[in-house]
Amino acid sequence: MQSSYVYMHLNGDFVPAGIMHTYQKGHAGYSTFQYGKRYLERPDATPVDPVSLPLSNIEYHTPEWLILFGGIRDAAPDGWGRYLLEKEANKPMSEFDYLVRAGLDRVGALGFGPDPVNGPVRNGIDSDNPSPQEILNLNDLVIAAQCHMDELEIDNHLQAFTEYGSSLGGARPKALANYINKLWVVKFNDKSDRRSETRIEYANMLLAQKCGLSIPDLKHVTLASNQGIFLIERFDRYFIEGKKFRKHFVSGLTMLNEHESYIVQIDINKHSYGALADIIRRYGSSDFIEQDLEELFRRMVFNIICSNSDDHLRNQGFLYDQQTQGWRLSPGYDIVPDLNPHDSLGLGVGPYGRAATFDNAQKGANQFGLNSDLASNIIKEMCESAKNWKDLFVECKIPEREIQKLEKNFNTIT
């Protein structure tokens, strides 16, 4: 058994929310979690997981095949972060180890520590190490990331990269940075890339903004080394009078009470945009339900426009709004045209399942509270906004040969 206190960041400070015990043998295992009495008494108490762990004094258990609760798993690293942690530890790691050893500035508002008094720490790591955000600039981050990808030895002053590279989900190399007084997720090119991934993602996210989607601030920076990096501003952080606040984040996977072990055989009726729309109606902030439903519809339509089938449930997120005490659809992220375009999305669209057609989207528009005429107008408006995508991609310095290959992605609007 391995145990950790789970902290929640509320009103600018971490407070102990409860305790988690994890039992794992091989790839099997389960967890228990129980909220603390004092936490439940707080008027601002936020559920760690609104579906699996609603605020209550009972002890919760995962099924025996599920090692971590969804809302807690969302705070753990994925492929890239796990790779960094494995290199640092130089030993086999459990799901619990990945969770508690990850960087402290992880996504959302959770933290983990061995006691309920001293706040979150990186378990097993010297907590007196300086913050990488204070000592590593963008050039340092690129050098460190490249060394890790090439499996080269890392200079001592770059060792801190592991903390801020291991804080995030996703398979691609990335890290956190403080740049021009904002907090960013920094994405790097991978040596195995077959195209200009950072520039393409940057251009496509700009196009999504142009089509009316809620997208964070974006930048693409070319460094002195001629390395290009993509920066997307963090939407789970904000500042009031210089003090940093964190917003609690959970994935669409968690909100549907699903787990990645199900992804191999998708239940099309549950893994769908319509199912996420139902979640917005059930858990959403009452003042913003209509707005978030339309945003979700637009996101689905844009994924059809650019042929992005990597729109799985972990690439759909929700943020807790303390003021309304409800959940908001997060801004869009990881919206990238497929390398090899498909005729379907990763999630169900409408009555014809995952078929990536505007007809399917329009006929399923009632799932989002939209009538057919309004849905049709939104689709036409977005297609009009996206029709000059090539010009935008040229402005973003994407090579002509890559733009030609991307024509297949955008053939629904040509």
3-state secondary structure 275-303: HHHHHHHHHECHHHHHHHHHHHHHHHHHH
pLDDT in tens, 122-166: 876 544 444 444 456 887 787 777 777 777 777 666 666 776 667
Q: Report pLDDT for 145.
A: 77
Q: Report pLDDT for 273.
A: 97
Percent of the chain with pLDDT over 70: 92
Burial class (CB within 10 angstroms; exposed 0-12, middle 13-18, buried 19+) of 151: exposed
pLDDT in tens, 381-391: 999 999 999 99
For residue 393, what pLDDT band results from cuts at 50, 70 and 90?
A: very high
For residue 262, what pLDDT band results from cuts at 50, 70 and 90?
A: very low
Burial class (CB within 10 angstroms; exposed 0-12, middle 13-18, buried 19+) of 89: middle
Mean pLDDT score, 216-240: 91
CA–CA separation, 311 and 335 (whole Å): 7
Mean pLDDT, the chain, integer: 90
For residue 46, what pLDDT band results from cuts at 50, 70 and 90?
A: very high
368 or 26: whose pLDDT is higher? 368
Q: Report pLDDT for 264.
A: 40
Burial letters 9-42, b for 16+ CB under 10 A, else e: bbeeebbbbbbbbbebeeeebbbbbbbbeebeee
Percent of the chain with pLDDT over 90: 70
For residue 267, what pLDDT band results from cuts at 50, 70 and 90?
A: low
Q: Report pLDDT for 139.
A: 79
